[in-house]
Chain A
Amino acid sequence: MANTNYTELIDNLIVAFNETFLMCGISLALAIVIGIPLGTLLFITGRGLFWQNRLLNLLGGFLVNIIRSTPFVILLVLLLPFTRLVVGTSIGPVAASVPLGIVAVAFYARLVESALHEVDKGVIEAATAMGATHFQIIKDVLFPEALGGLLRGLTITAISLVGYSAMAGIVGGGGVGDLAIRYGYYRYQTDVMIITVVLLIILVQILQSLGDFSAKKAEKK
């Protein structure tokens, strides 16, 4: 086992965590900004809802499924030209955020859709009977009623992203996972591996608790 220089390790960890946060942050932001509208579209174009549109629903669903059924490592490679086009480079955490973001959007869109499905149809009917516009129903009924589910979905997405971001290290994305593989695996520094894994466990735990807490608060039950 190689000797570990702990001050160097701490520096590396700080850099790695920053990269992880950057990758996950960007892709999570994309998940919120694009995934919520996409998931909402999937929901309201579904059967029996006010924007029922089979074509749009199938198309959206198909797109999401393609992304979700492609293994992330393959998607990472497939998207390299696109990443280069968007960011100008295919290396670094910002570049890794492109495939991560696309996966996050597709992943979260489905979770948004299923969270909206949990909303009591009777409440939607009541709002329709009141004369609410579609926009009012989405804004004042669907989103508030589904907020707990939306936050739980976001938690799941964030935690999955932490895992995926480790793979992003393959294309030079960096991050904590990459650090664990480079030092812990390639250099046989098991202690580095253990430390990073423990830190990742703590990170995931924090995310989960934060998500549970905010979801519970949003549900008002």
Chain B
Amino acid sequence: MIEFDTISVRFQHKKSAVDAVKNVSFRIEKGEIFGIVGTSGAGKSTLLRTINLLQRPTSGRVLIDGHDVTHLQGDALRTLRISIGMIFQQFNLIHTKTVFENVAFAMKVAGKSSAEISTRVYEALELVGLTDKASVYPSTLSGGQKQRVGIARGIVNNPQILLCDEATSALDLETTDSILALLQEINRRLGITIVLITHEMEVVKKIANRVAVMSGGELLELGDVFSVFASPLHPFTQSLVNRTLNLDLPTRIVENCKNPLVKIVYNGDHAEHAIISETVQKFNIDLNILHGKIEYIGGKPFGVLVVQIVGEHAEAEQVLNYLKEKTYKVEVLHG
């Protein structure tokens, strides 16, 4: 369990100071996959680095399993770092060492014997599916393979925690999916707590259990991924979610629309009901679907439809009320 207790990080420059993280407090539970999202400069990367003290907080405490680690130094700090794996956006492999040597280095640092290293490194490489690449140099690997080496290196010492710093941001979509699947498998099989930071809501949506949204160094909101997606509270989160749902209609359609235009948000149970056809039958109107998407977050459906209600004005009012009753949220976009 990781706990941030009123963490602030201030970068002091010659004349000005930047508050990268402002008074952030929250907990990450053991065994969960926790996402921290935000745009660049939101302070998420700085916050992540306070966990293994690559960045010392200016004020506040970081607690891991109840122990205050904020002021660890020397060997105690190194022992802490050995128990926390970390992977990076740019993979950060040692170019002049083979895949095997890269992973082995993490164990050497942990003071493991060479006998132990030679067996355990192969186990880690097997987990990430790279045993056949053990003796090649990183430059011959693809981005996805490099990140797999990074993951093998990150977990080889059986850490409690794996920190992922934009681990998929340098990868294409397909590779991103396979890396995320691997992280999920590692979380399930080994019970490692995963903390990942990303600017992509997609990543969080795919694997995280809970998510914290940061902007300008502040924690805006925090909750399980489904509820943050289904009902984002903060305008910033709303815009993030909207961007991933990508429900922008061409302005031509919105402007020329004579009938009421509504956005219907379903979640959970609603999404599996035939609400649209029920409404059409009940009120004898037409619902013209202009845009829509149904996503499954953590196995729970979450859908958004933009429909045009074609009918009399009084009817439209009733339809709206009916929809409001039957779905999670209805938002009138126009008319």
Contacting residues, chain B, for A147 (C-beta < 8 A):
96
B94, A144: Cβ atoms closer than 8 Å: yes
Q: Which of A111-141 contact B (CB under 8 A)?
A: 120, 122-123, 125-133, 136, 140-141
A218 to B77: give the CA distance in the assembly, Å: 33
Partner of B81, one of A123, A130, A145, A218: A130
B95 touches A220 (CB 8 A): yes
A132 / chain B contacts, CB cutoff of 8 Å:
78, 105, 109
Please indicate the chain A residues that have their CB under 8 angstroms from the CB of B109 in the complex.
127, 130-133, 136
Contacting residues, chain B, for A131 (C-beta < 8 A): 77-82, 109-110
CA distance A147 to B80 in the complex (A): 30
Q: CA separation between A189 and B106, bound complex, in Å?
A: 64
- How far is A141 from B93 in the complex, measured between Cα atoms in Å? 10
Given contacts A129-B52, A131-B81, contact A122 B92 (CB under 8 A): yes
Chain B interface main SS type: mixed
Docked-complex contact A221 and B86, CB < 8 angstroms: no
Number of interchain pairs (Cβ within 8 Å): 74
Measured between C-beta atoms, what is the minimum distance from B252 to chain A in Å?
Answer: 46
Q: Are A123 and B94 in contact (CB under 8 A)?
A: yes
Bound form: Cα–Cα A162–B77 in Å: 48
Tell me which residues across on chain A come within 8 A of B80, comparing CB atoms.
131
Q: Which of B72-101 contact A (CB under 8 A)?
A: 77-82, 84, 86, 88, 90, 92-97
Residues of A within 8 Å of B79, CB to CB, are 131
Interface size class of B (residues with CB under 8 A): 20 to 34
Residues of A contacting B110 with CB < 8 Å? 130-131
Q: Return B265 CB to nearest CB of chain A, in Å.
A: 41
B78, A125: Cβ atoms closer than 8 Å? no
B92 near A218: Cβ-Cβ < 8 Å: no
B59 at the A interface (CB under 8 A): no
Query: What's the least CB distance linking A64 to chain B, in Å?
Result: 26
Q: Given that A131-B81, A132-B109 are contacting pairs, would A220 and B96 also be in contact in the complex, using a CB cutoff of 8 Å?
A: yes
The answer to whether A122 touches B90 (Cβ under 8 A) is: yes
With A145-B95, A221-B139 known as contacts, the answer to whether A129 contacts B86 (CB < 8 A) is: yes
**B88 & A220 in contact (Cβ 8 Å cutoff):** no
Provide the bound-state CA to CA distance between A126 and B90, in Å. 10
Other A-B pairs beyond A131-B79, A220-B137, 8, CB < 8 Å: A120-B90, A123-B92, A127-B94, A130-B86, A130-B106, A130-B110, A140-B105, A220-B139
> Can you show 19 pairs from A to B with CB atoms below 8 A apart?
A126-B86, A126-B88, A126-B93, A127-B109, A129-B81, A130-B81, A130-B110, A131-B79, A131-B109, A131-B110, A132-B78, A132-B109, A133-B109, A140-B94, A140-B108, A147-B96, A218-B96, A220-B139, A221-B137
Report A's interface with B, CB cutoff 8 A.
Answer: 120, 122-123, 125-133, 136, 140-141, 144-145, 147, 218-221
